[in-house]
Amino acid sequence: MRQSRLALHALALIGLLAGSCPLRAETGAAAASALSVSIDDFSYVDTSGEVIDQTAAHQRRLDGLMRRLRADVAAEPRYRLVLPADEARIKVIGGVQKTSTLVQWAKVAVIDAGATRVLYERLYTFRGDNDEAWDHAAMFLSREVRGALAAALPPEATATAAPIGLAVFEFELEDTTAAPASGLAGSDAAYLADVTRGVRDRLAQSGRYRLVDTGGVTAEPVKARALRDCDGCEAAIAQKLGADQALIGVIRRVSRTEYTVGFQLRDARSGAVISRGDSGLRMGADYSWTRGEVHLVGDRLLEGGAQR
């Protein structure tokens, strides 16, 4: 019943949208330009019945989700983000409903106003109502929406899309064991080099990316292998190198046989996080780092469809 209420609410939004704006196909020069996209502010409904008033927190988190979604779409040169009040070929609308303390539903629709049809319409559930849960939901919804937008591109736009210039920085080690060695041990450096090489090879072979050389970078966070702690400075460094995006990765050693692998991808111009992944706790010796990281990047970034 709760799912139905949110579905009907979002469908009503779709109906209002279709009735309030002209729906006609673009022709001529407009069709050859970037695909115009507008993203309406999502609605939010709290039917959880919780005593604590979280209106302000919910609005802040919803605003963050909208900023993330718009930044990710705007970072793709094949799309032209316009204001919701303007006429756009593609319109993205949606709503979120909190149904209980730990469960929220999100309804998203992508509408081709030119063809008067719904391209994409899904109802998702996500658990949790904190910044981390909303961040994960924003990343997932962004990926799904961008996938739907890519499907709306004309074949020639997809076929001629240039590879994305990507700066893949050397992977870093965060050692959380009781007594980490002073500095980076030789064996650890060798394993990290293998991880970096494996990820670069995987991305280059995909054909989606054009790797940008980072070997001559002299910025201190790069030399110190501390990009994970520089608050996104890798984006500006990558932009100076002529890259479109920047990727950093971290191996976190929990014990001698336990570790996690993770990566983060940013747009070089805006600094916005486009995609990130974390494996969760894994078991294995140091030589298994490469296999874990390459699999994570392939699963979350390549198969997940992260774009510019």
Cβ atoms of 58 and 42 within 8 Å: the answer is: no
Q: What is the DSSP string of 240-261?
A: HTT-SEEEEEEEEEEETTEEEE
| Residues paired with 303 in a beta bridge | none
Task: Indicate the residue type of 17.
Answer: L
DSSP secondary structure letter of residue 234: H
Cβ atoms of 34 and 110 within 8 Å: the answer is: no
For residues 73 and 141, give the distance between their C-alpha atoms in angstroms, rounded to a whole number.
12
For residues 14 and 94, give the distance between their C-alpha atoms in angstroms, rounded to a whole number.
9
For residues 244 and 91, give the distance between their C-alpha atoms in angstroms, rounded to a whole number.
26
Q: Give the pLDDT score at 200.
A: 93
Q: Which helix (H) or strand (E) holds 174?
A: strand 172-175
**Could you identify the residue written with the tokens 């979002």?**
10
For residues 81 and 73, give the distance between their C-alpha atoms in angstroms, rounded to a whole number.
7
Burial category of 231 from C-beta neighbours within 10 Å (exposed 0-12, middle 13-18, buried 19 and up)? exposed
Pairing mode, if any, of strands 43-46 and 90-98? parallel
Segment-wise mean pLDDT, segments of 10 residues, the chain, 308 residues: 44 41 35 77 93 92 91 82 85 93 92 85 88 84 85 66 89 79 74 92 87 93 93 95 95 86 92 86 78 85 60
Q: Give the pLDDT score at 31.
A: 38
Q: Give the pLDDT score at 4.
A: 43
| Residues paired with 258 in a beta bridge | 255, 283
Q: Give the pLDDT score at 20.
A: 36
For residues 152 and 116, give the distance between their C-alpha atoms in angstroms, rounded to a whole number.
13
Nearest one of 207, 209, 196 to 166, comparing CA atoms: 209
DSSP secondary structure letter of residue 183: S
Q: Give the pLDDT score at 159.
A: 56
In the three-class reduction of DSSP (H, G, I as helix; E, B as strand; rest coil), residue 226 is classed as: coil
For residues 260 and 227, give the distance between their C-alpha atoms in angstroms, rounded to a whole number.
17
